[in-house]
Amino acid sequence: MESILHRLTKRIASEDVVGWVVAFLAMLVVIAFALSFTGRVEWTPLQLASLSGIGTTAVILVIWLQFKSQAKQIELFRKTIEPEITVTASVAFMGMGETLSPPLIIITAANTGNKPVTLSSCGIELENNEMLHFTRSNGLPVRLRVGEAHVLPLTVEELKQSLNGKKPLHAWFGDATGRKYNSKPWHIKEILGIQ
């Protein structure tokens, strides 16, 4: 359970609270300058320099927070209009009674974006920018609605034959518009017996 102090610290660290504090400081500086111009308050040069420094810092922070907020809005907007496919590659075993099957390489494409995507190709990128395309029994093209996934299982032997001794870097799926979605780098060379 989070302590009250921990929750309060997280709240103070949030941008909204920082923005309000900076705006409050800027307002105090404006009021102080307004009072000095009306003649109601006499400020020493050191006090005026301090107020100017606080005011300048507050203005810079307000501008920075505004730019940061705009950048977040642009990123959120971009995510709503661009498709997003998360590709993963892993090793799995199927249970067959009391024994396990030989290892399978499972390549999965999941639609983690906000709009449907039609996947039309898949494969593995090899060293030297070579591409290995899977055309047999890959179930493509397939239209993935938001939250849906497409799975391509391969036996290790099938993959070894397709690689022909070349080193795999990562798996990928391509959509109908030509975009390519990559998995993270693979670490299955040991399973495939590739040095």
Closest to 121 measured CA to CA, from 141, 106, 105, 136: 141
pLDDT surpasses 60 at 65: yes
Q: How much is the pLDDT for 16? A: 62
pLDDT surpasses 90 at 3: no
What is the residue type of 177? T
Q: How much is the pLDDT for 105? A: 87
Confidence band, pLDDT 50/70/90 cuts, at residue 155: confident
Q: How much is the pLDDT for 32? A: 74
Q: How far apart are CA 67 and CA 57, in angstroms?
A: 15
What is 85-192's CATH topology?
Immunoglobulin-like (2.60.40)
Q: How much is the pLDDT for 10? A: 54
pLDDT digits (tens, 9 = 90+) for 5-63: 555 455 445 556 666 777 777 777 777 777 777 777 777 788 778 877 877 877 787 78
Q: Return the top range by mean pLDDT from 2-6, 68-72, 158-162.
A: 158-162
Residues 110, 85 contacting (CB under 8 angstroms): yes
Q: Is the Cα dihedral 121, 122, 124, 125 positive or negative? A: positive
pLDDT digits (tens, 9 = 90+) for 82-100: 889 999 988 888 877 788 8
Q: How much is the pLDDT for 137? A: 67
pLDDT surpasses 60 at 194: yes
Question: E strand or H helix at 22, and its extent?
Answer: helix 15-38
pLDDT digits (tens, 9 = 90+) for 95-130: 777 888 788 888 999 999 888 999 999 999 998 889
> CA gyration radius for the chain?
29
Give the residue extent of every domain in the chain.
Answer: 4-81, 85-192
Confidence band, pLDDT 50/70/90 cuts, at residue 190: low
